[in-house]
Amino acid sequence: MRAVFVGSPGSGKGTQARQLQDRLGVTHISTGDMLRTAIAKGTSLGRKVAPLLAAGQLVSDELVNELVAELFRSPNRPERFVMDGYPRTAAQAAALDALLNELGLPLDAVINFQIDEEMVLRRLIGRTGRGRDDDAESTVQNRLTVYRETSRDLLTYYRRQGLLHDVAAADSVENLYKKIVKILQPKTV
């Protein structure tokens, strides 16, 4: 199973990706987590991207493409994985395709987490104070605007490839998990 999750911040992609990792053993790849780790460790990459994450802006395609390429070029590269938060632009999707084709690991499916912006705002702002630094209301608004602007081309890219599956994401964690597994499980071989 090799899948990409696309959805706005707060749509539940991270939660579902962690469920798949825990229950089916597929590797959860989150560029957001990788960047936050770099920031926490104070690496030069971390220092470079910290202000972008704090503002809810995207890191450059080049930088995240390189992070992901490094992961796949390492000897213990994952062969079954779910990507959460990458690719985020059509250019990142094209770079990922090139990389995975070179490795003979093409994607099986892309899941589009569909959810109202209003619900997402309630969820993310509810996380303020006990969640991530970038969940403050002004940053959340920014992340949603960035998502609106970049996701259309990304979704078109995958729809054209016939890989895109829409799921209604405003559901319980367990129901959503079942819907996703139903789509992905036939592709698990």
Q: In the range 102-131, which residues lie near ligand ADP by CB under 6 A?
A: none
Residue 164, Ramachandran bin (φ over 0: left; ψ between -120 and 50: alpha; else beta): beta
Whether the CB-CB separation of 123 and 21 falls below 8 Å is answered with no
Name the segment binding ligand ADP (CB under 6 A); options: 24-32, 72-80, 166-174, 179-187: 24-32
Beta pairing partners, 114:
168
Indicate whether 56 belongs to the interface with ligand ADP (CB under 6 A): yes
Distance CA 79, CA 136 (A): 36
What is the DSSP track for 94-128?
Answer: HHHHHHHHHHT----EEEEEE--HHHHHHHHHHTT
Indicate whether 143 belongs to the interface with ligand ADP (CB under 6 A): yes
Distance CA 141, CA 137 (A): 6
Tell me how far, at minimum, the Cβ of 53 lies from ligand ADP, in Å. 4
Q: Which residue is nearest to ligand ADP (CB)?
A: 32
Indicate whether 39 belongs to the interface with ligand ADP (CB under 6 A): no
Indicate whether 16 belongs to the interface with ligand ADP (CB under 6 A): no
Helix, strand or coil, per DSSP, at residue 9: coil
Q: Which is nearer to ligand ADP, 21 or 188 (CB)?
A: 21
Residue 110 has a CB neighbour count (10 Å cut-off) of 24
Residue 130 is classified by DSSP as T
Name the segment binding ligand ADP (CB under 6 A); options: 19-27, 80-88, 101-109, 166-174: 80-88
Tell me how far, at minimum, the Cβ of 72 lies from ligand ADP, in Å. 15
Indicate whether 69 belongs to the interface with ligand ADP (CB under 6 A): no
4, 28, 29, 31: residue in contact with ligand ADP (rule CB under 6 A): 31
List of residues contacting ligand ADP (CB under 6 A)? 9, 30-32, 35, 52-53, 56-59, 64, 85-86, 88, 92, 143
